[in-house]
């Protein structure tokens, strides 16, 4: 998968450069030399038609509307870069970017946690592995509407399990869903909880791909379990870890549903906890400023695009590919 | 950027398709001539609502409607409130609104000003609707630019709920119509001080707009919107906000944070709160709770001005201006506005009906609770719930800023000034 | 394979058991943290509202409200909504398996113009909040008359940028020799794809299927806007209508309903776990 994104990443660079193929003559020549003829078109067209209609067209529309004042029920007036100027002056936007990054950062912590669990789960001859795996996978299949309500009750300051338990040992816990920063952490914990099972299963596959001989050889050299974990397991897992970090980033920046359901839209801590997508939704469907909302959407695209690009640039420094 | 022809082609198709969205066959604005024979009105219409608890009552209304109009098939479309208006906006942008649907005050002008709703004048002309059947403040909420667009369905006013048992244990007398804000504050303080050790707090006021902020500001002679300006920076409004901030500061009432955790009224239902301002839609919840036997209702306390005010709001039924089956929709909307429909609603205990003189069933639903207070409030001291063309924009500003005043994070006057400025900005954009 | 496993385990017996004790401790703690919210949900689903909000919380309900489960059937048309969820999920999964693997194969193995740009476009689509697509997609589905239908709910999800990436990467990892051999035998690209590549792509297809099934089963905002009548809503939307208005929610019933909505996926997962784990694991292989 990481290879995939690498290709896509280079595609992104290509998109910024002039389209390849220059003049008509070279283009024709290329086409003739292509061994695949019209096959690629036949293979891609069914998907491209759907993607173009349901995703690309709305995306382009949205980019256009980001330069307009867009009426709630249609009809737009061109306002140039006005929405973007407002975007840069809006203190909520900066705070939302920080919040989204903090949230994503906490989600990323789930990757090393998952590495440890996955390594344990993949020990040879481990009993009950299937049961453990089911437990870890459960949160991934939970219905967000319902499970956020469960967590809301678990976090409750008065009758929630967490603070009631802390109270028994004499600690007064924070009001998780209504205290600045704690509310963001509370949301991130649920995000983490939902992602760990998925991370683990992906990492388990990476672990299965590590040849056992490597461990045997290092054991002969006298390496202990901890040393093996650091010098063999982790380096050989880096492609999977890289894939997860790219996906976690994209998922982290989409934070909305959980925030909305867990904290509630009228929570006084929301202005300090809101994410970029929350701002988008609020502008689009709360304040009915769909043009401004579109500009926020474009900003989200640009930020994730930038971070993805940086991740691909940096991967050479730490990701080890087997071949 | 250049795109392959396939994608440009797909995009062009989409453009063509979405270009012809607002066209609709219905003529919902002309004169209404419902046929003599109700059986000749036929077809399917949809009726969108947001409250699952009122669905059975709505089904009863439809059944009753069908005794007169046997050939109209009305289907209820239920969407929970958090997504209701997102869906309605999406439908509106494609000309596919439900034929008849619930509307609220904050969204009325937005939909009306975009020609989404059928005006009620033709109904009046055909004697199918008479505004004098409803509280005039309710008609005001659903009027935009001199034209009414919503048939009031139910109404709510605000009063003071109290838990007799808690008050007695704290040695606090039951509230009377003569209570002032000071009396209220002192009573709440006494409860918190006496019973705080048991986790009981005096007032569960959650500093919500409708139940706390608006009634207090209006009682004190202030306004929320005055013409096209925010009223929050007036001394009267600041004094009212300060009243709540003081309540929070000395522990008489809940902090905004505590409210976010467990809402004040839910605490009241759990017997953890002695006093709380609340709307009459809370009554059914009270009756189902464990504290039902201990609860009664009194008038809101008097502001330092010696006045008391409540906001009045309620749901209205509205009809889409682009209904595909205007005849059936008109017949149904007219029925929903009738006294008959109001009585069925009241009997089902779904809500306090808006039709004048049909509220007795609601008052009788809890004989010991003194619910007449809500009805008297509507006739004696209610003002229309404040709305504008894009209410959502400044509601968000209120939501963002007011908790800062109540939590003591910033001085009340500063917050009020900020709030008024940002609200004025939002209001200016409506032009 | 299970027998072999047992033998190895027995042969090395005690030492491994002792050796894994630490691992079991950590895994049990981790598992408990993972399933605790579900245990709490189960508890709430058979509790009264008063039990749910009692201070301090009770570990055991004071009375068992099994009625909450029966109540679900009176509140929402559970069976027809289950059918909608199933139909939408099957449609989306089948379409993605076919369309994404075709496109993924072309991206992985064929040469054509604008490949880089097309890939960049696909990736950008993943980066935009899904709510951006809501109104335009609605207008498209409306204009072809598919509102409030299973086809309309399924439509945008038939196509997936993510799925295309996943399948592309899978095909890239497959040895080129197979294709060359087939080409020498006179197969054209379509024949190579259907006869040679697809059978080998099973693990990739399974992983795509799982991701699509879960995304489709839990999808909320899109089906909520497109479906209007209760009988045409998937379970996720039916559940959302139970939320009530201003605190008038019946928590126990909502919890029971969501457990019932989750159950089919859980049962399928447990039944097919070995294959599912292998399938999903593939998404992480480079």
| Rounded Cα gap, residues B383 and B140, in angstroms | 10
pLDDT tens digits, residue range B280-319? 988 888 888 889 999 999 999 999 999 999 999 999 999 9
Q: What is the 3-state secondary structure (H, E, C) of chain B?
A: CCCCHHHHHHHHHHHHHHHCCCCCCCCCCCCCCCCCCHHHCCEEEEEEECCHHHHHHHHHHHHHHHHHCCCEEEEEEECCHHHHHHHHHHHHCCCCCCCEEEECHHHHHHHHHCCCECCCHHHHHCCCCCHHHCCHHHHHHCEECCEECCEECECECEEEEEEHHHHHHHCCCCCCCCCEHHHHHHHHHHHHHHHHHHCCEEECCCCCHHHHHHHHHHHCCCCCEECCEECCCCHHHHHHHHHHHHHHHCCCECCHHHHHHCCHHHHHHCCCEEEEEEEHHHHHHHHHCCCHHHEEEECCCECCCCCCCEEEECCEEEEECCCCCHHHHHHHHHHHCCHHHHHHHHHCCCCCECCCCCCHHHHHCCHHHCCHHHHHHHHHCEEECCCCCCHHHHHHHHHHHHHHHHCCCCCHHHHHHHHHHHHHHHHHHCC
Of C166, C169, C189, which Cα lies nearest the Cα of C97? C166
Kindly list the residues from chain C whose CB atom is less than 8 angstroms away from the CB atom of residue B199.
55
Put simply, the answer to whether C136 touches A158 (Cβ < 8 Å) is: no
C198 CB neighbour count, 10 Å cutoff = 17
Q: C247: phi > 0 → left, psi -120 to 50 → alpha, else beta; which?
A: left
Structure confidence at residue A34 (pLDDT): 58
pLDDT reading at C86 higher than 60: yes
Q: How far apart are CA C284 and CA C275, in angstroms?
A: 15
Residue A164 pLDDT exceeds 60: yes
Q: Do C114 and B4 touch (CB under 8 A)?
A: yes
Say if strands B143-144 and B147-148 run parallel, antiparallel, or are unpaired: antiparallel
Over range C196-209, report the average pLDDT. 80
Residues 234-273 of A with CB under 8 A from C: 239-240, 243-244, 250, 253-254, 256-257
Among partner residues B2, B80, B290, which is closest to C240 by beta-carbon distance?
Answer: B80
Residues in Cβ contact with A149 at an 8 Å cutoff, skipping those fewer than 6 apart: A261, C251, C254, C255
CA distances from residue B425 to B229, B420, B422 in whole angstroms, order as listed: 9, 9, 5
pLDDT digits (tens, 9 = 90+) for B178-229: 999 999 999 999 999 999 988 899 999 877 889 999 999 999 999 999 888 9
For chain B, the chains sharing at least 3 beta-carbon pairs closer than 8 angstroms are A, C
When the candidates are 3.40.190.10, 1.10.10.10, 3.30.450.20, 3.30.230.10, the CATH number that belongs to B158-312+379-429 is 3.40.190.10
Per-residue model confidence (pLDDT) at position C73: 85
Written as six digits, the tokens of A85 are 């100027």
Q: Does C94 touch chain A (CB under 8 A)?
A: no
Candidates B1, B94, B322: best to mutate against C (most CBs of C within 10 A) is B94
Identify the H or E element spanning C11: helix C2-19
Coil, helix or strand for A78?
A: strand
Q: Which two tokens stand for residue A61?
A: 């529309």
pLDDT of residue C18: 52
Alpha-carbon span A212 to A230, nearest angstrom: 15
Return the pLDDT at A6.
Answer: 35
What's the average model confidence in pLDDT over A269-287?
Answer: 89
Name the fold adopted by B40-156+314-358. Answer: D-Maltodextrin-Binding Protein; domain 2 (3.40.190)
Nearest CA to C218 out of A247, A257, A107 is that of A257
Minimum Cα–Cα distance from C218: chain A residue = A143
Query: Is residue C69 over pLDDT 90?
Result: no
Contact residues for B282 (Cβ-Cβ < 8 A; gap 6+): B161, B265
- Token pair 């439908």 is found at B91
Asked if B11 and A265 come within 8 Å (Cβ–Cβ), the reply is no
pLDDT (average), residues B57-69: 95
CA-based nearest residue in chain A for residue C235: A143
Q: What are chain C's domains?
A: 2-70 (no CATH), 76-284 (1.10.3720.10)
- pLDDT category, B277, cuts 50, 70, 90? very high
Mean predicted confidence (pLDDT) in B96-116: 94
Q: What is the C-alpha to C-alpha distance for residues C162 and C49, in angstroms, rounded to an integer?
A: 42
Domain boundaries, chain B: 40-156+314-358, 158-312+379-429
Interface test with A, best of B261, B400, B403 (most A CBs within 10 A): B261
Q: Which chains form contacts with chain A, at 3 or more CB pairs under 8 Å?
A: B, C
Q: What is the DSSP string of C123-166?
A: HHHHHS-GGGGHHHHHHHHHHTT-TTSHHHHHGGGG--HHHHHH
Helix (H, G, I), strand (E, B) or coil at C61: coil
The pLDDT assigned to B220 comes to 96
* Rounded distance between C-alpha atoms, residue C96 and residue C164, angstroms: 8
The pLDDT assigned to C120 comes to 85
- Summarised one tens digit per residue, pLDDT across range A83-97 is 999 999 998 999 999
C-alpha to C-alpha distance for B319 and B230, rounded to whole angstroms? 31
Does the distance separating the beta carbons of B77 and C241 come in below 8 Å? no
pLDDT over 90 (residue A217): no
Question: Mean pLDDT, to the nearest integer, of B168-185?
Answer: 96
Using the predicted structure, report yes or no on whether residue A7 has a pLDDT greater than 70.
no
Nearest-Cα distance to chain C for B235, in Å, is: 32
**B262 φ, ψ (degrees, to nearest 5):** -135, 120
Contacts of A73 in chain B (CB under 8 A): 89, 92-93, 114, 116
Mean pLDDT of B415-425: 95
Beta-carbon separation of C165 and A125 below 8 A: no
Q: What is this model's ipTM?
A: 0.83
How distant is the Cα of A181 from the closest Cα of chain C, in angstroms?
22
B133-142 per-position pLDDT tens digit: 999 999 999 9
Q: Kindly report whether the global pTM for this prediction surpasses the value 0.80.
A: yes
Q: Rounded to whole angstroms, how far apart are CA atoms C168 and C189?
A: 16
Kind of pairing between the strands at B158-163 and B295-298: antiparallel
Long-range contacts of A85-91 (CB under 8 A, 24+ apart): A86/A292, A86/A295, A87/A292, A87/A295, A87/A296, A87/A299
- E strand or H helix at A70, and its extent? strand A68-70
Considering only CB atoms, B17 lies closest to which of C143, C241, C245, namely C143
Please report the pLDDT score of residue C106 as a whole number: 93
B379-392 pLDDT, tens digit each: 999 999 999 988 98
User: For C56, which DSSP code?
Assistant: S
- What three-state secondary structure class fits A69? strand
At A57 the pLDDT is: 93
- What domains, with CATH codes, occur in chain A? 86-318 (1.10.3720.10)
Angle made by CA atoms B308, B314, B320, in degrees to the nearest 5: 150
Closest CA to B188 of B165, B210, B211, B205: B205
If you average pLDDT over residues A167-176, what whole number do you get? Answer: 87
B40-156+314-358 and B158-312+379-429 in the same fold: yes
Is cis: bond before C56, omega within 30 of 0?
yes
User: What local confidence, expressed as pLDDT, does residue A23 receive?
Assistant: 39
- Give the residue carrying structure tokens 């494609």: B94
Residue A60 has pLDDT above 70, yes or no: yes
Task: Using alpha carbons, select from B82, B75, B66, B3 the residue that is nearest to residue B45.
Answer: B75
Token pair 């009045």 is found at B312
Q: Please name the member of B13, B261, B400 whose beta carbon is closest to the beta carbon of A271.
A: B400
Are B96 and C142 within 8 A, CB to CB?
yes
Angstrom distance (rounded) from CA C168 to CA C105? 6
List chain C residues with CB under 8 Å of A159.
52-57
What pLDDT shows up at residue C112?
A: 87
- Does the pLDDT value for residue C13 go beyond 90? no
The C-alpha atoms of residue B141 and residue B144 are separated, in whole angstroms, by: 8
Distance CA B221, CA B293 (A): 35
Rounded to whole angstroms, the Cα distance separating C262 from C115 reads 40
């Amino acid at each position: 998968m990481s290879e995939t994104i690498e290709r896509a990443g280079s595609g992104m660079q290509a998109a910024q450069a002039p389209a390849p193929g220059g003049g008509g003559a070279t283009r024709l020549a290329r086409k003739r030399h292509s061994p695949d003829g019209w096959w690629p078109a036949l293979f891609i067209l069914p998907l491209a038609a759907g993607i173009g209609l349901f995703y690309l067209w709305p995306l382009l529309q949205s980019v256009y509307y980001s330069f307009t004042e867009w009426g709630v029920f249609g009809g737009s007036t061109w306002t140039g870069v006005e929405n973007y100027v407002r975007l840069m002056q809006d203190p909520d936007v900066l705070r939302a970017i920080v919040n989204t990054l903090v949230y994503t950062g906490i989600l990323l912590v789930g990757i090393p946690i998952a590495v440890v669990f996955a390594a344990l789960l993949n020990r040879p001859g481990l009993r009950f592995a299937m049961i453990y795996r089911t437990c870890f996978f459960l949160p991934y299949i939970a219905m967000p509407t319902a499970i956020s309500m469960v967590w809301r009750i678990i976090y409750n300051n008065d009758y929630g399990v967490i603070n009631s338990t802390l109270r028994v040992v004499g600690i007064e816990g924070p009001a998780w869903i209504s205290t600045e920063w704690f509310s963001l952490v509370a949301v991130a914990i649920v995000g983490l909880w939902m992602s760990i099972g998925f991370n683990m299963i992906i990492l388990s596959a990476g672990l299965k791909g590590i040849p056992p001989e490597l461990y045997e050889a290092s054991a002969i050299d006298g390496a202990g379990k901890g040393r093996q974990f650091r010098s063999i397991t982790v380096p050989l897992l880096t492609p999977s870890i890289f894939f997860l970090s790219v996906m976690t980033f994209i998922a982290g920046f989409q934070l909305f549903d959980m925030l909305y359901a867990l904290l509630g839209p009228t929570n006084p801590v929301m202005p300090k906890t809101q994410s970029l997508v929350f701002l988008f939704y609020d502008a689009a469907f709360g304040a009915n400023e769909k043009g401004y909302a579109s500009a926020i959407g474009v900003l989200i695209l640009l930020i994730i695009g930038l971070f993805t690009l940086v991740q691909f640039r940096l991967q050479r420094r730490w990701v080890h590919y087997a071949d | 950027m250049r795109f392959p022809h396939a994608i440009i082609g797909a995009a062009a198709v989409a453009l063509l398709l979405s270009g012809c969205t607002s066209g609709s066959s219905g003529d919902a604005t002309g004169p209404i001539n419902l046929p003599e024979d109700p059986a000749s009105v036929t077809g399917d219409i949809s009726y969108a609502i947001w409250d699952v608890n009122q669905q059975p009552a709505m089904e009863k209304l439809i059944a009753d409607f069908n005794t007169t109009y046997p050939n109209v098939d009305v289907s209820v479309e239920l969407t929970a409130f958090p997504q209701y208006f997102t869906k309605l906006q999406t439908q509106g942008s494609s000309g596919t609104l439900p034929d008849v649907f619930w509307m609220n005050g904050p969204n009325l002008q937005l939909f009306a000003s975009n020609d989404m709703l059928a005006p009620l004048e033709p109904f009046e002309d055909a004697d199918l609707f008479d505004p004098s059947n409803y509280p005039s403040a309710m008609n005001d909420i659903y009027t935009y630019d001199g034209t009414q667009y919503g048939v009031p369905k139910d109404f709510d006013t605000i009063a003071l709920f109290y838990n007799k048992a808690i008050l007695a244990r704290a040695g606090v007398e039951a509230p009377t119509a003569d209570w002032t804000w000071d009396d209220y504050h002192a009573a709440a303080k006494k409860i918190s001080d006496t019973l705080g050790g048991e986790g009981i707090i005096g007032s569960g006021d959650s500093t919500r707009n409708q139940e706390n902020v608006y009634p207090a500001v209006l009682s004190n002679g202030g306004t929320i919107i005055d013409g096209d300006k925010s009223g929050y920076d007036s001394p009267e409004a600041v004094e009212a906000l300060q009243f709540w901030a003081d309540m929070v500061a000395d522990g008489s009432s809940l902090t905004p944070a505590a409210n976010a955790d467990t809402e004040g009224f839910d605490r009241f239902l759990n017997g953890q709160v002695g006093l709380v301002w609340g709307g009459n839609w809370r009554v059914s919840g009270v009756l189902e709770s464990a504290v039902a036997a201990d609860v009664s209702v009194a008038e809101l306390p008097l502001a330092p001005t010696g006045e008391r005010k409540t906001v009045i709001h309620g749901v209205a039924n509205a009809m889409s201006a682009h209904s595909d089956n205007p005849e059936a929709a008109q017949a149904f909307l007219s029925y929903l506005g009738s006294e008959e429909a109001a009585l069925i609603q009241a009997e089902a205990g779904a809500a306090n009906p808006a039709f004048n003189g049909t509220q007795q069933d609601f008052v009788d639903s809890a004989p010991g609770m003194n619910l007449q207070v809500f009805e008297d409030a509507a006739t004696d001291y209610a003002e229309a719930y404040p709305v504008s063309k894009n209410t959502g924009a400044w509601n968000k500003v209120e939501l963002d800023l007011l908790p800062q005043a109540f939590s003591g994070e910033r001085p009340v006057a500063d917050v009020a000034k900020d709030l008024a400025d940002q609200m004025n900005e939002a209001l200016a954009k409506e032009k | 394979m299970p027998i072999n496993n047992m033998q190895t385990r027995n042969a090395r017996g005690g030492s491994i058991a002792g050796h894994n004790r630490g691992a079991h401790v950590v895994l049990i703690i981790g598992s408990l943290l993972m399933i605790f919210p579900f245990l709490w949900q189960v508890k709430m689903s058979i509790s009264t509202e008063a039990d749910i909000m009692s201070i301090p919380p009770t570990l055991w309900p004071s009375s068992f409200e099994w009625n909450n489960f029966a109540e679900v059937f009176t509140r929402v048309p559970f069976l027809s909504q289950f059918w909608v969820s199933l139909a939408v999920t099957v449609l989306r999964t089948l379409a993605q398996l076919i369309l994404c693997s075709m496109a993924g194969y072309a991206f992985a193995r064929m040469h054509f113009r604008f490949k880089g740009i097309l890939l960049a476009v696909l990736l950008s689509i993943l980066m935009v909040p899904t709510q951006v697509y809501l109104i335009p997609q609605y207008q498209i589905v409306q204009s072809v008359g598919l509102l409030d239908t299973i086809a309309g709910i399924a439509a945008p999800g038939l196509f997936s940028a993510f799925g295309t990436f996943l399948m592309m990467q899978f095909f890239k990892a497959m040895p080129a020799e197979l294709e060359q051999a087939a080409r020498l035998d006179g197969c054209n690209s379509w024949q190579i794809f259907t006869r040679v590549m697809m059978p080998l792509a099973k693990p990739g297809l399974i992983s795509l299927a799982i991701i699509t099934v879960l995304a489709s089963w839990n999808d909320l905002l899109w089906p909520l806007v497109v479906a209007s009548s209760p009988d045409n809503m998937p379970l996720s939307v039916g559940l959302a209508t139970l939320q009530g208005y201003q605190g008038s929610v019946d928590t126990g019933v909502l919890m029971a309903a969501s457990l019932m909505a989750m159950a089919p996926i859980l049962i399928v997962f447990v039944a097919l776990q070995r294959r599912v784990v292998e399938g999903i694991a593939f998404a992480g292989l480079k």
